Amino acid sequence: MKIGLNLFSVFRELNDDYFGTLEKVAAMGYKNIELLTVNFSTGLRYTETYTLPVIKKRLVELGLNAFSAHEGVPPGKSIMDNDWDRIIEENAELGCSSVVFPMAFIAGREDTLHTAEQLNIIGEKCKDVGLSFYYHNHAHEFRRIGETSLFELLVENTDPAHVKFEVDLVWVMRGGYDPLALVEKLGNRCDMIHQKDLSKAVNPVNIFTSSPQGYNLDTMKIYTEFVKPNDFVNLGTGIVNFQETYQKLHQLGSIRYAIVENEGQLGNKFTSIESDLKVMEKYV
C-alpha cells in the first residue's frame, strides 16, 4: 500500500500557482499524486495553459508519480459532454495508470442506471489504452431506493472488467454505511481509497438520518445544507480510528493506494497536508 495525495486538497493553491504548489507537495515528501486537471478559477484544463510535455517533465523532475487523475463534469452537464477520447489520451501521455470519475449527480433508479451505462462506455475506452477507470463516491450514492442503495445499483450495473471503485471512507460513513465492510465486499474492484477525517463535533454521522427530508433533497442541497465548512479536519484529529482502519486494510491486502484528501477549510493547507502525511506514514 502506498500513500497518495489528491490535489483537490490544495485546489485553490493550484489555481494560483500550479507548478509552485507541486514543488511544495514534493518537498513535503509526497511521492504519489492524484491529479486535479481543471483550474476551478478559470474553468480551463491545465493542459490548455501548459503543454503536456512541460507538465510531464516537471513531474519527473520533482519525483512525483501522477498515478491517477480525477475527471468530472459540473452539475447540470451530461457525463458524455466531456471529450473522453482527449481526456484519456492526455492522461495516458502523462503516465497516469487510472482515470477517476469523481461524482455523478444521481438521485433515483433511472438516472443511476443511465449513469452506469455511461461509466461502462468510458471504462471500456480507458481499458482499450491500458488505463483503469474508477467511480469515486460521496454520500448521496447511499440513499436507499427500496431494498438497495444507488451505490449498489452502480456496482451491480457496471462491468467489473471496465469499472472499479475508489472508495472514500468518510463519505461512506456519512452515507450511513460501514466503509471497511464495503471495501471488503468490493474485493478487487476497490484497490484505491480516499482518506479524510471528520470532526468530533459532527453528529450524527449519517447525513440522511439527520433530517426527515434528507432522502428527498436535491443532490447538491445535501452538501450545502448538511455539510459544513468545518466538518472535515486534519487527519488524526477527528473521529477516524486510524489504527483499526489500517490494520483491517492491511489484512484485506487489496488496497494499492491510500490517498489523502483534506477538505478542511481552516488554517494553511500546506501545513495541513504535511501533517496528514505524517499521520499516514504511521499506519500505511
Structural domain boundaries in the chain: 2-283
Residue 204, pLDDT above cutoff 80:
no
When the pLDDT of each residue in the chain is averaged and rounded to a whole number, the result is 94
Residue 212, pLDDT above cutoff 60:
no
Q: What is the mean pLDDT of residues 17-30?
A: 98
Q: What is the pTM of this model?
A: 0.95
pLDDT at residue 100 in the model? 98
Can you name the CATH fold of 2-283?
Answer: TIM Barrel (3.20.20)
pLDDT at residue 213 in the model? 57
Q: What is the mean pLDDT of residues 70-85?
A: 91
Q: Band the pLDDT of 202: cuts 50, 70, 90.
A: confident
Instruction: With residue 2 as reference, give the H or E element that holds it.
Output: strand 2-6
Q: Band the pLDDT of 210: cuts 50, 70, 90.
A: low
Sign of CA pseudo-dihedral 215, 73, 11, 275: positive
Q: Band the pLDDT of 130: cuts 50, 70, 90.
A: very high
- Residues 90-109 have pLDDT tens digits of 999 999 999 999 999 998 99
pLDDT at residue 220 in the model? 82
Over the range 228-262, which residues count as b (16 or more CB within 10 Å of their CB) and which as e? Answer: eeebbbbbebbebebeebbeebeeeebbebbbbbb
Q: Band the pLDDT of 145: cuts 50, 70, 90.
A: confident
Residue 133, pLDDT above cutoff 80:
yes
Residue that has been written with the C-alpha cell 484519456 in this structure: 88
pLDDT at residue 111 in the model? 93
- Residues 55-66 have pLDDT tens digits of 999 999 999 999
Query: Helices in the chain by DSSP H: which ranges?
Result: 11-16, 18-28, 52-62, 84-94, 109-128, 150-157, 169-174, 179-186, 219-225, 242-252, 269-283
**Is 223 strand, coil or helix?**
helix
Asked if 158 contacts 216 with a C-beta cutoff of 8 angstroms, the reply is no
pLDDT at residue 193 in the model? 98
pLDDT at residue 264 in the model? 86
